[in-house]
């Protein structure tokens, strides 16, 4: 079991203060457009490493116009353990984390809490730039392998520095060698973790009977292919230095990986599928992620499904709700009206979000 049992938002976006007490069932949040539903999901997403589901800056999340900072607090149950988790930002500074009242890092947070999401901005994920697909996959990878956050951080830091050298046309081989060693080690870890995640998703999809179509995944490289070992990757960075100097940036590496999706039963690339099918393929992967973790003896991640029923027909919607209940995942879902959650037949905890006198107000029921 991985779930929040309480959640408090202070000065966070449209919420001056909101207190939610969760009873372990999936969470269904309904209310009018702009009421503040997604803001609650965004708050939950910040219980995992990174910038949350909107990739917003810490400053943007402070309640306008008066707040200079914000704070989120939650009681988190992981297996039979309970943790008090706080995350906050003051005066627009980087967000901080405390676990059980002790200063912690976002990477520590990733060790105890896994959160995966689908939001409407991802409706065109299969069509738009590779970056979105990479990010989606990396979120799933992180739920399998919390060390992925550190590898990604190390890789990006070293690559930024290498790109700076390239842009400034610096040719000192010693500097490159240090950075390329770091990039090769972390880059190899990133690639191995992604490859393993794709395998786990495939196996979980093959093993399940579900109303959601299996998505066949393939990792592809726009740079011609990544070497298999860290040593070979390092050599490839070294060999590519002249080419990269001409381009002014690093042209090879896991930052160029793309995720190709295919509707397996039809053999149609995901990008050519209907809007609803594209969404169903994403849902299928999220559910496979949860099933794979359970099969490995773990707990499903917390799922954030913003307006997920928008493109799903009533049969798939009922199937999704049934799967969520069966998996025992704490899913947080939003919708404009309570009727969108009818198929839960009372097995979800309902909240209404209203536009109140002091901003968004959350009411149970």
253 is in an annotated binding site: no
- Exactly one of 2, 20, 22, 38 binds ligand ATP (CB under 6 A); that residue is 38
Q: How far is the CB of 14 from ligand ATP (least distance, A)?
A: 4
How far the first Cα of the chain sits from its last, in Å, is: 24
Handedness of CA 14, 109, 348, 305 (dihedral sign): positive
Which residue, 302 or 304, is less far from ligand ATP as judged by CB? 304
Q: How far is the CB of 303 from ligand ATP (least distance, A)?
A: 16
- Exactly one of 2, 3, 31, 341 binds ligand ATP (CB under 6 A); that residue is 31
Which residue, 155 or 332, is less far from ligand ATP as judged by CB? 332
Which residue, 105 or 352, is less far from ligand ATP as judged by CB? 352
Which residue, 234 or 360, is less far from ligand ATP as judged by CB? 360
Q: Is 14 in the site for ligand ATP (CB under 6 A)?
A: yes
CA distance 310 to 317: 9
Q: Is 291 in the site for ligand ATP (CB under 6 A)?
A: no
Number of residues that bind ligand ATP (CB under 6 A): 18
| Residue 304 neighbours by CB under 8 Å, 6+ apart | 41, 44, 45, 53, 115, 116, 117, 118, 119, 331, 332
| Residue 324 neighbours by CB under 8 Å, 6+ apart | 26, 303, 331
32 is in an annotated binding site: yes
CA distance 240 to 252: 8
Which residue, 33 or 81, is less far from ligand ATP as judged by CB? 33
35 is in an annotated binding site: yes
Q: How far is the CB of 37 from ligand ATP (least distance, A)?
A: 3
| Residue 117 neighbours by CB under 8 Å, 6+ apart | 41, 45, 53, 139, 303, 304, 305, 306
Task: State which of positions 40-99 bind ligand ATP (CB under 6 A).
Answer: 60-64
| Residue 143 neighbours by CB under 8 Å, 6+ apart | 114, 115, 116, 289, 293, 301
Which residue, 34 or 225, is less far from ligand ATP as judged by CB? 34
Is the omega angle on the peptide bond into residue 115 within 30 degrees of 0, that is, cis?
A: no
Name residue 80's beta-bridge partners: none
Name residue 354's beta-bridge partners: 361
Residue numbering of the annotated binding site: 31-38
Residue numbering of the annotated binding site for ATP: 31-38
Applying CB under 6 A, the residues found at the interface with ligand ATP are 13-14, 31, 33-39, 60-64, 334, 336, 353
């Amino acid at each position: 079991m991985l779930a929040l049992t309480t959640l408090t938002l202070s000065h966070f976006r449209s919420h001056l203060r909101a207190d939610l007490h969760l009873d372990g069932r999936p969470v269904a949040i309904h209310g009018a457009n702009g009421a503040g539903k997604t803001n609650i999901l965004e708050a939950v997403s910040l219980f995992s490493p990174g910038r949350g589901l909107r990739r917003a800056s810490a400053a943007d999340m402070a309640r306008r116009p008066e707040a200079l900072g914000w704070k989120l607090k939650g009681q988190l149950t992981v297996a039979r353990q309970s943790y008090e988790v706080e995350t906050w930002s003051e005066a627009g500074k980087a967000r901080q984390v405390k676990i059980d009242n002790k200063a912690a890092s976002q990477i520590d947070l990733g060790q105890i809490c896994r959160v995966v999401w689908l939001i409407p901005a991802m409706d065109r994920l299969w069509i738009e730039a590779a970056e979105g697909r990479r990010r989606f996959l990396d979120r799933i990878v992180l739920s399998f392998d919390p060390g992925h956050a550190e590898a990604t951080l190390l890789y990006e830091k070293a690559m930024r520095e290498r790109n700076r050298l390239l842009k400034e046309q610096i040719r000192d081989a010693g500097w490159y060698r240090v950075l390329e060693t770091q990039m090769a080690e972390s880059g190899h870890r990133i690639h191995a973790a992604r490859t393993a995640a794709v395998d786990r998703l495939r196996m979980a999809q093959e093993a399940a009977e579900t109303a959601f179509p299996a998505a066949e995944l393939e990792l592809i490289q726009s740079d011609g292919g990544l070497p298999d070992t860290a040593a070979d990757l390092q050599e490839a960075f070294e060999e590519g230095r002249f080419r990269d100097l001409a381009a002014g940036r690093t042209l090879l590496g896991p930052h160029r990986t793309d995720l190709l999706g295919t509707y397996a039963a039809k053999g149609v690339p995901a990008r050519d599928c209907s809007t609803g099918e594209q969404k169903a393929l994403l849902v299928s992967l999220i559910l496979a992620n949860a099933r794979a973790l359970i099969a490995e003896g773990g707990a499903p991640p917390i799922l954030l499904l913003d307006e997920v029923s928008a493109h799903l027909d009533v049969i798939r919607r009922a199937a999704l709700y049934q799967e969520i209940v069966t998996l025992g995942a704490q899913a947080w879902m939003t919708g404009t009206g309570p009727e969108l959650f009818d198929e839960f037949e009372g097995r979800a905890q309902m909240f209404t979000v209203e536009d109140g006198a002091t901003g968004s107000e959350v009411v149970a029921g």
